[in-house]
């Protein structure tokens, strides 16, 4: 699976945050979140621009012929305009063939999982052979200055992933879930982000065990068959609690958002890129992927490296 991540140049460290919120030291923020710094999109930098940079770098780095891209999928809740679809704008910027489809969807924390399912479906249905799946968010543009809790967690970023026929064949069955009654727990109203952290935390602890059991059953696997668990990188405290409550081995459970923060739909592909760069992904390994959050929505699948 070929992945490229992109981050804005501007970096906000915990030291910078503690200067704004003196009651929170840099160490306290890190202990609470597992995050030391995060990238912040400033000025006119948008999710579209970040998506373009990630995608173009992927095409150039991997020597991918843009004319071979059959379909573009863009997951973002930071659209350029109310209309047209930001995927159409990205399609034009990348110079993809006019015969390639383009679709935007706004599924946030579970978005990469949903994107994988869409890409697999397009390929399995014979509608595409090469799908460019892009995730990009600028959540920090919605955070009020006084909202120190969310300012410590979220960072901006984008990721571009190529799903071809070979990769699609290594993506397993999916487990999905939705609870729209919890929409108000993480929402943007009047251009300001609101998150009920404790409720999101409880929701996550509630849905993860059943989702793991369901996706394992659908793939005819057991926990012992899984080599790595790569979940949405929400914050370290939440992930550590999930691991402990579900009895998952520490060495199989990936947590690394120290220099990125919670990049919403991009956390899972960024984590996979980090693992690949570190040489931790070996041929034949089975990796459980799970996203959960805004919506409320969640999804999981198992990929074979």
For tokens 């034949």, what's the residue? 284
Tell me which residue of 100, 221, 117 sits closest to 168, measured CA to CA: 117
Distance CA 62, CA 293 (A): 32
- DSSP alpha helices (H): ranges in the chain? 14-20, 26-33, 47-61, 86-94, 111-124, 148-153, 165-168, 197-218, 236-245, 267-277
Three-class SS state of 150: helix
- In this structure, what token pair is assigned to residue 305? 């490296």
Catalytic residues: 109, 232, 262
- In this structure, what token pair is assigned to residue 6? 């992109």
CA dihedral sign, ordered 255, 258, 259, 264: positive
CA dihedral sign, ordered 89, 93, 96, 98: positive
Q: Residue 3 phi/psi, 5° resolution?
A: -135, 140
Q: Is residue 157 a contact partner of residue 6, using CB atoms and an 8 Å limit?
A: yes
């Amino acid at each position: 699976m070929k992945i490229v991540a992109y981050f804005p140049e501007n970096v906000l460290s915990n030291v910078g945050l503690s200067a704004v919120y003196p009651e929170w030291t840099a160490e306290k923020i890190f202990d609470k979140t597992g995050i030391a710094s995060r990238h912040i999109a400033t000025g006119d930098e948008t999710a579209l621009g970040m998506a373009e940079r990630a995608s173009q770098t992927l095409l150039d780095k991997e020597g991918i012929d843009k004319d071979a891209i059959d379909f573009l999928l863009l997951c973002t809740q930071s659209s350029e305009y109310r209309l047209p679809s930001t995927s159409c704008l990205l399609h034009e910027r990348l110079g993809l063939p006019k015969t390639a489809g383009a679709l935007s969807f706004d599924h946030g924390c579970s978005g990469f999982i949903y994107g994988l399912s869409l890409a697999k479906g397009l390929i399995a249905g014979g509608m595409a052979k090469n799908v460019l799946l892009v995730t990009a968010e600028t959540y920090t543009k919605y955070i009020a200055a006084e909202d120190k809790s969310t300012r410590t967690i979220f960072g901006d970023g984008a990721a571009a992933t190529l799903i071809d026929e070979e990769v699609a064949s290594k993506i397993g069955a999916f487990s999905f879930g939705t609870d729209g009654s919890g929409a108000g727990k993480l929402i943007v109203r009047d251009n300001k982000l609101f998150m009920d952290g404790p409720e999101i935390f409880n929701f996550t602890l509630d849905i993860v065990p059943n989702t793991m059991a369901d996706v394992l059953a659908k793939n005819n696997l057991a926990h012992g068959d899984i080599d790595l668990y790569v979940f949405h990188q929400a914050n370290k405290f939440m992930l550590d609690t999930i691991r402990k409550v579900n009895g998952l081995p520490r060495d199989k459970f990936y947590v690394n958002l120290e220099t990125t923060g919670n990049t919403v739909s991009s956390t899972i592909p960024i984590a996979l890129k980090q693992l690949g760069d570190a040489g931790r992904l070996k041929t034949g390994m089975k990796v459980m992927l799970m996203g959960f959050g805004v919506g409320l929505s969640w999804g999981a699948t198992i990929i074979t490296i």
